[in-house]
Amino acid sequence: MALFRFGRKQTPDTPEPTVAAPATGDATPAPVAAPSGGGLLDRLRAGLAKTARVLNTDVRDLFKREGRLVDEEFLEELRATLIRTDMGPAAAEGIVVDVRERLRARVVDPEIVIDSIRRQLLGRLEQTGAAVAAAPTGPTVILVTGVNGSGKTTSIAKLARLFTREGKRVVLGAGDTFRAAAVEQLSMWAARLGAELVRGEPGCDPASVAHRAVARALEGSFDVCIIDTAGRLQTQSNLMQELSKIRRVISKQIPDAPHEVLLVIDATAGQNALSQAKGFKEAAGCTGIVLAKLDGSARGGVIVPVTEQFGLPVKFVGLGETADDLEAFAPERFVAALLEGALAPAG
């Protein structure tokens, strides 16, 4: 299914900017591969294995005492277990309140407790605006933000792969001009994926690269323009101001652009992801989240407080290292994977 639908583009009669050729070198990104087998749910189960193990072991342990009642001791143990998944105190408290109101002073049925967890998580992860916004005419511009090491560059490549597989023409803007390695990595990805790349000199103004990338998208009748940004820390106010500058430059070329501002969050970051989301949402006007590195060591429950506190929908989840390992986020599948095995018998 197409991620979004485009209208007819209008191409201005202005000269093309200089577009750098893709770099060559010995280092190569992860290969472009066919999607992993087993289906999305199986891949999510693998990606959320650590979180599921916490629920599988610790929630099950609550039922070892035969005929145990739902009392305050039980509820405190349940709350502590839920918080260890990084779903945050608000979600944990909501589940505890629900269990207390429905089951207080009764012998605990583990199926009912798990059902309460499932219903609470689904309610908290329910979201609107999950589809990628599209320009009514001309190129759709996507700005990608996130701290160094979050998986931002790889996520850009995965997004480009999604669009090129739909037959859309993609141009990438290498706006992380302060890290030569990031530009070179994006260059190799562009060459491998059949996308065009706009880059600048090392250390040049990132806003100028963004301007040229959008200009190239307009003049070349591209469908999608994805722009990388520096992997800056959310506490560096001067760099945050630069993000605002990039947005202004883009909007002067296309008034309603960027159409999406995606924040890439490392799923292993835990509660630190909250401060990342706060800083980037304020500076860049983020519209959605890409949850990267769901690789089995992730604390995937953190997506619950991120979506609740900042109202940002999760657009995609990254499930592996290849260009095809990116999936549209589906709350039902995510929660099913999160709770997989929670009632499995002891081994």
Using alpha carbons only, what angle is made at residue 137 by residues 136 and 139, rounded to the nearest 5 degrees? 105
pLDDT digits (tens, 9 = 90+) for 48-57: 777 777 776 7
Cα dist from 128 to 124, 265, 312, 330, whole Å: 12, 19, 9, 11
Q: DSSP code of 58?
A: I
CATH architecture of 41-125: Up-down Bundle (1.20)
Report strand pairing: 260-266 vs 288-292. Answer: parallel
pLDDT digits (tens, 9 = 90+) for 101-142: 888 878 777 778 888 888 889 998 988 777 889 999 999 999
- Mean of per-residue pLDDT scores for the chain: 80
- CATH code linked to domain 140-338: 3.40.50.300
Q: Which residues in the chain are classed under CATH 3.40.50.300?
A: 140-338
Using alpha carbons only, what angle is made at residue 323 by residues 6 and 133, rounded to the nearest 5 degrees? 25
What is residue 66's predicted lDDT score, i.e. its pLDDT?
Answer: 74
Q: Which residues in the chain are classed under CATH 1.20.120.140?
A: 41-125
What does the alpha-carbon distance between residue 136 and residue 120 come to, in Å, rounded to a whole number?
36
Residue that is written with structure tokens 């990606």 in the block: 47
pLDDT digits (tens, 9 = 90+) for 4-16: 533 333 333 333 3
